[in-house]
Chain A
Amino acid sequence: MTKKRKRTKSSKSARKGASAVTRSARGALSVATNARKTVKQRVAAMAEAPTAVYADDASLQAMLGVLRNRDEPVKVRLAALQALQASSFSVVAFESCRGDYIAALRAVAQDPDPELRQRALGLLAREKDGFAQKKLLEGLRDPSKALVPPEKALQLLSYDVHAEAYPLARAIVSKPPNATAKREALRLLGADAASAPLFEKILRDKDEPPEIRQISAAALQALKPQKLQALAREIVLDTSEQDDIQATSLTALTQFGGDKMGADDEALLKRVDRLSGTASTKVKQSARRFLTKYGR
């Protein structure tokens, strides 16, 4: 067979294959949007329908119609949302659909169903959508208007550093509605250079839970790495410190400490040497990695 004939044959096969997929996707879409089918059938069909969504306007509108329709079962609507999200990954092919898709997400962001609201807001937040940010901030300021729990709102707002969330996050850190919200607020503030002193204070505070202190250590590494190095050293030398935090500090010193740092610090090396033999498993492992790096 000549090369030209081989190329023609393979492109014909590819087209046939593509057509088969399209027919299959269209068939799935037809099932997915058919209210007479069972929820299970429709949810299963939704998983095969994404490529049919941008095939034509009617297909798109059919899928969006399912998503927007509050009379449809929530599971089916969630599956529709997932199919649309999958479809949107094909940015170029999805171009003609994007406007309607964003509008639908904004409508669903205010849906009575909390899971749908959260998913829609999550997708919008990843797009740094101003509408979503406005709603999330409103909810943090006034809990009666909240569309999602505060910790979720903070998590979604953290996708965009420009989202004006820092003052609210600081307020939540000082007066948290719950522990999870405080944690998410701190994560969000991890991109706020002005919060470095806050993280230093939390990391030093042995009364704070380990997870919160670890988040603070990570934030300090991003904002003031030299400060973290100094603090990490103090923590490792402190015989009354928590194991988790000592392990975190050893990791910070090992990963980010610079090639010569540990080698010249006899007091630190001596302490880490002792920890490598007598401490908990987690601390021992971190200590041994430190010693491996600094040549002991």
Chain B
Amino acid sequence: MPSGLSEPQFAALVDALAARPDEREQLTDLLREDHPLYDQRGAATTVRMRGWILLALARVGVSDTALLFVLDELDAGADPYLVAAAARALRSYPSPTAAFAPFVMRAIANIRYRDEPVCLDSYGEYAVASTGTSPVRELFVTLAWLGPHARGALREIEALREQRGRLSSKLLGDLDLALEAVRGAERVDALDTETCCKLPGGLRSMFSWTLGSRRSSEPIEATVFEDHDGAPITFKEFFRGHPSIVVFFYTRCDNPLKCSLTITKLARIHTLLEARGLYDRIQTAAITYDPAFDLPERLRGYGQARGVRLDACHRMLRATEGIAALGRHFRLGVNFIESLVNRHRIEVYILDAEGRIAGSFERIHWDEQQVVDRAVEVLVEKNEEKSEVAPHPPSVRSTVPPMFGTLASLGVAFFPKCPVCWAAYLSVFGIAGLEQIPYAPWLQPVLVAVMLISLTTVWLRARSTGRTGGLYLVGAGALAILASKTAPGWENAAVWGVALTLAGSLLSAVDAENGRPIFLRLRRITTRA
């Protein structure tokens, strides 16, 4: 997707994507804040571009993947054009649900004192007459669309209506229509009460654990920060050794529902941590997107003004050599015009004691208690014996593949070359009815494939833990086994191959954090069971 498009070209691109059903999902991708299309665009330009995408989605229908962006805008948006576009887009979702009502009501509260006429018909135009639509109007129309699904917000809506003289007469008409629809004739029981207040599918929780292996923090361990006192510290020095809660912000953010609120919530996190006796065991860091401008004194002032506690374990940081490396590592939802942020999402990360990203909250407003709870889970996984809370059971998934691979390697190494050997094997194990178990030569390539899968698993584990000893041993073992099968004179290598594979598998499965052998973990699993 070319990034140097003019605005008219961009609008034409969006219209073209909207017109082609098989390319509509690309529209959602264009809403990513870090999309190259927004690079070096000003904030107002970014608003126009994003608004046009939302309006295109409003025409073609909002999918589940796009829904998150729409709700994000309603939840914390402060721009009238974007909020209006999001409100309109929401109405194109296949079906209304009660879970949307709080977002719509929040958007009304956010934007009502910044209501202004907007032009949603053509790209880049601004309304100079008040006869068109506005974000509040679009939100009222969306309330009407929700109808009885918004009944949970009925009192709030009625309170809006009762505020005399606050809404213009034009908006009162739309509000009355919304009220009528919400009060509706349908019985609440008839609605999907089982799914009441539940967001669709993957949106139910805005928190996500890092799936699979946690990426090593090695690429950014040498990143040098300057904290709120001007003291230098590297990523490794600060983030290794304790789980951390990391938020991103910048002092020149003009959306009070984003950065300012994020830092204010960080102050509350400190209170929650202290109440649980964890203030010194879980660290926090607020990292600025704008390190060139957010000098230490500014960081300190911004944090203190919002009640943040600042000390050795809880810091506000700027990356002295720029934000690019951090942006790549965290996959930050932010873009810039020169060094100035043009748009960013709300994002909070939980790092484990190795500085690896264990989980993240993105977009929709996060709850401080939830963040602390998640951080405690990560703390507990580090200190399983000391924690008062039952830790997560060690992942069996992480131990099975290496052992399974060993068995597969054994199978390959000692697979019989002929049916006679096959019979001999089975007789060793005293199996009666040998004639009923046919020789299965197809099993050998299957075992080879399993052995290779195991090797791949060990490789992935080595990548995530940074420990490659197991990988080398398993690799050498696999080569030895294959050589024993293919190279004349190398038959005895099979035994060495199996031994190397077994050793490598065990080494790979050892607990990376405290070096405790795998059999101790397995014993705990069985004990707890």
Question: Interface on A for B, CB 8 Å cutoff?
Answer: 54, 56-57, 91-93, 95-100, 102-104, 106-107, 110, 128, 130-131, 133-134, 160-164, 166, 191-194, 223, 225
Taking A99-B134, A128-B254 as known contacts, 18 extra A-B pairs with beta carbons closer than 8 A to each other, sorted by chain A number, are A57-B168, A93-B165, A95-B113, A96-B169, A98-B116, A102-B116, A103-B128, A130-B47, A130-B81, A131-B126, A162-B44, A162-B337, A164-B45, A191-B252, A193-B290, A193-B339, A194-B292, A194-B339
Is B320 an interface residue, CB under 8 A from the partner? no
Instruction: Return the chain A residue nearest B135 by Cβ.
Output: A99
Q: Are B116 and A107 in contact (CB under 8 A)?
A: no
A96 in contact with B168 given A102-B117, A164-B42 (CB within 8 Å): yes
Chain B residues 292 to 315 lying within 8 A of chain A, measured CB to CB, are: 292-293, 295, 297
> Which of B41, B42, B47, B252 lies at the interface centre, i.e. has the most chain A CB atoms within 10 A of its CB?
B42
A103 in contact with B340 given A57-B168, A160-B254, A162-B254 (CB within 8 Å): no
Partner of B113, one of A92, A128, A225: A92
User: Could you say which residues of chain B place their CB within 8 Å of the CB of A56?
Assistant: 165
> Which of B45, B81, B340 lies at the interface centre, i.e. has the most chain A CB atoms within 10 A of its CB?
B340
10 contacts between A and B (CB under 8 A): A96-B166, A98-B114, A100-B130, A128-B254, A130-B81, A130-B126, A134-B124, A160-B43, A162-B42, A166-B340
Is B342 an interface residue, CB under 8 A from the partner? yes
Q: Are A164 and B337 in contact (CB under 8 A)?
A: yes
Q: Are A95 and B167 in contact (CB under 8 A)?
A: yes
Q: Are B292 and A99 in contact (CB under 8 A)?
A: no
Taking the nearest CB of chain A, how far is it from the CB of B348, in angstroms?
23
CA distance A96 to B165 in the complex (A): 7
Q: Are B117 and A99 in contact (CB under 8 A)?
A: yes
Instruction: Return the chain A residue nearest B41 by Cβ.
Output: A164
CA distance A132 to B130 in the complex (A): 16
Q: Which 3 A-B pairs have the closest CB atoms?
A: A164-B42, A193-B292, A162-B43
Q: Are B127 and A166 in contact (CB under 8 A)?
A: no
Is B159 an interface residue, CB under 8 A from the partner? no
Q: Are B340 and A106 in contact (CB under 8 A)?
A: no
**Interface of B (DSSP majority class):** loop
CA distance A97 to B116 in the complex (A): 9
CA distance A244 to B166 in the complex (A): 53
User: Could you say which residues of chain B place their CB within 8 Å of the CB of A131?
Assistant: 126, 128
> Which of A91, A95, A160 lies at the interface centre, i.e. has the most chain B CB atoms within 10 A of its CB?
A95
User: Could you say which residues of chain A place their CB within 8 Å of the CB of B45?
Assistant: 164
Taking the nearest CB of chain B, how far is it from the CB of A200, in angstroms?
15
Q: Are B167 and A96 in contact (CB under 8 A)?
A: yes
Taking the nearest CB of chain B, how far is it from the CB of A62, in angstroms?
15
Q: Are A54 and B165 in contact (CB under 8 A)?
A: yes
Instruction: Return the chain A residue nearest B134 by Cβ.
Output: A99
Partner of A103, one of B130, B169, B295, B342: B130
A103 in contact with B293 given A162-B340, A164-B337 (CB within 8 Å): no
Q: Are A103 and B129 in contact (CB under 8 A)?
A: yes
Is B112 an interface residue, CB under 8 A from the partner? yes
User: Could you say which residues of chain A place their CB within 8 Å of the CB of B47?
Assistant: 130
Taking the nearest CB of chain B, how far is it from the CB of A89, in angstroms?
12
Q: Are B44 and A192 in contact (CB under 8 A)?
A: no
Instruction: Return the chain B residue nearest A224 by Cβ.
Output: B295
Chain B residues 96 to 113 lying within 8 A of chain A, measured CB to CB, are: 112-113
Instruction: Return the chain B residue nearest A133 by Cβ.
Output: B44
Instruction: Return the chain A residue nearest B133 by Cβ.
Output: A99
Q: Are B254 and A99 in contact (CB under 8 A)?
A: no
Instruction: Return the chain B residue nearest A95 by Cβ.
Output: B166
Q: Are B42 and A106 in contact (CB under 8 A)?
A: no
Is B48 an interface residue, CB under 8 A from the partner? yes
Taking the nearest CB of chain A, how far is it from the CB of B249, in angstroms?
15
Partner of A225, one of B115, B129, B295, B338: B295
Q: Are B127 and A103 in contact (CB under 8 A)?
A: yes
Q: Are A134 and B295 in contact (CB under 8 A)?
A: no
A106 in contact with B168 given A162-B42, A164-B44, A166-B338 (CB within 8 Å): no
CA distance A163 to B293 in the complex (A): 16
A164 in contact with B43 given A194-B292, A225-B295 (CB within 8 Å): yes
Instruction: Return the chain B residue nearest A161 by Cβ.
Output: B252
CA distance A166 to B130 in the complex (A): 32
Taking the nearest CB of chain B, how far is it from the CB of A142, in angstroms?
16
CA distance A177 to B50 in the complex (A): 35
CA distance A96 to B278 in the complex (A): 48
Instruction: Return the chain B residue nearest A54 by Cβ.
Output: B165
Q: Are A192 and B338 in contact (CB under 8 A)?
A: yes
User: Could you say which residues of chain B place their CB within 8 Å of the CB of A166?
Assistant: 337-338, 340
